[in-house]
Amino acid sequence: MSKEIEVLEANEAFYRAFTARDADAMAALWSRSAPVACIHPGWDALDGRAEVIGSFRAILGTSSAPKVHCSVAAAHVVGETAFVTCHELVAGARFVATNVFTREEGAWRMIHHHSSPLGPAQPRVHRPEPELRS
Amino acid sequence: MSKEIEVLEANEAFYRAFTARDADAMAALWSRSAPVACIHPGWDALDGRAEVIGSFRAILGTSSAPKVHCSVAAAHVVGETAFVTCHELVAGARFVATNVFTREEGAWRMIHHHSSPLGPAQPRVHRPEPELRS
């Protein structure tokens, strides 16, 4: 199996844990030895495993935790590290995410998640006139 | 020099190129051999060097290209790959970014940039503001 497919499967596991509200499965997906961080939509960056896993336990522990479906995932592998870009569909809203992974004990474990709102009229093909704010 | 400092300096170089509207310097900062991607605020993911560099040339080529100042940068190194989380200050607005780097020919080159709006009331509590300035 190619590394890209392995990474895409690890990415899918993240969204399965999210949608199942399974905080233990979520915790198991994140690296235990590498430095980790997380940027939830609109939030500041969380730094370190305790803070990141704590945020997911808080989010997934509520009955209103959203189901998050992943689509158009693309894996980019660089040696033993990889990042995925994908869309997240949450209650009719569309987000775009970066998920970073590293190989640890034979498995691809997450080291970073960054999710943010996707603007309107942003098909995943080519961009029209660039209009930028950053 | 620690890898973290090297990575933070590469991150600063990205914002210097941005603020100087120097598209050639920007192009030189990005990897030529690894797969690259970029998510500008509100945009869908751009995939591949041609698309990513093209977007920066379009953005930096306009007289209205914003100056972007980086603060509270934190580097997370995993072997020969690293990611930085930081804030971007753009004309009074605050964004949060993920920048991913890999070591290539002795230099830390960018492989991914993801920037998105920071919500209100999100102080960066866990960081003592030790950022490198350009």
- Per CB-CB distance under 8 Å, the chain B contacts of A85 are 37, 39, 45, 47, 112
- Per CB-CB distance under 8 Å, the chain B contacts of A132 are 40-41, 43, 59, 65-66
Q: Give which of B11, B10, B5, B29 is closest to B115, Cα–Cα.
A: B11
pLDDT tens track for A103-116: 999 999 999 999 99
How high is the pLDDT of residue A122? Answer: 57
DSSP string covering A63-99: TTPPP-EEEEEEEEEETTEEEEEEEEEETTEEEEEEE
Confidence of residue A121 (pLDDT cuts 50, 70, 90): low
Put simply, the answer to whether B102 touches A111 (Cβ < 8 Å) is no
Q: How far apart (Å, rounded) are the C-alpha atoms in residues B73 and B128?
A: 10
What's this model's pTM, rounded to 2 decimal places? 0.90
Q: How far apart (Å, rounded) are the C-alpha atoms in residues A108 and A82?
A: 9
Residue B119 half-sphere exposure, CB side, CA atoms within 13 Å? 12
Q: Does B33 touch chain A (CB under 8 A)?
A: no
Q: Give which of B90, B71, B86 is closest to B134, Cα–Cα.
A: B71
Q: Give which of A99, A44, A56 is closest to B127, Cα–Cα.
A: A44
Q: Does A116 touch chain B (CB under 8 A)?
A: yes
Buried b (16+ CB within 10 A) or exposed e, A119-131: eeebeeeebeebe
- Total count of residues recorded for chain A: 134
A46 vs B64 pLDDT, higher one: A46
pLDDT tens track for A63-93: 888 899 999 999 999 999 999 999 999 988 9
Structure tokens at B46: 């751009």
B120 vs B101 pLDDT, higher one: B101
Check whether B101 has a pLDDT greater than 60.
yes
Q: Which residue of B has its CA nearest to A110?
A: B78
């100087």: which residue's tokens? B20
Q: Give yes or no for a contact between A100 and A39, defined as CB atoms under 8 angstroms apart.
A: no
Tell me how close the Cα of B85 comes to any Cα of chain A, in angstroms.
7
How high is the pLDDT of residue A132? Answer: 44
pLDDT tens track for B28-50: 999 999 999 999 999 999 999 99
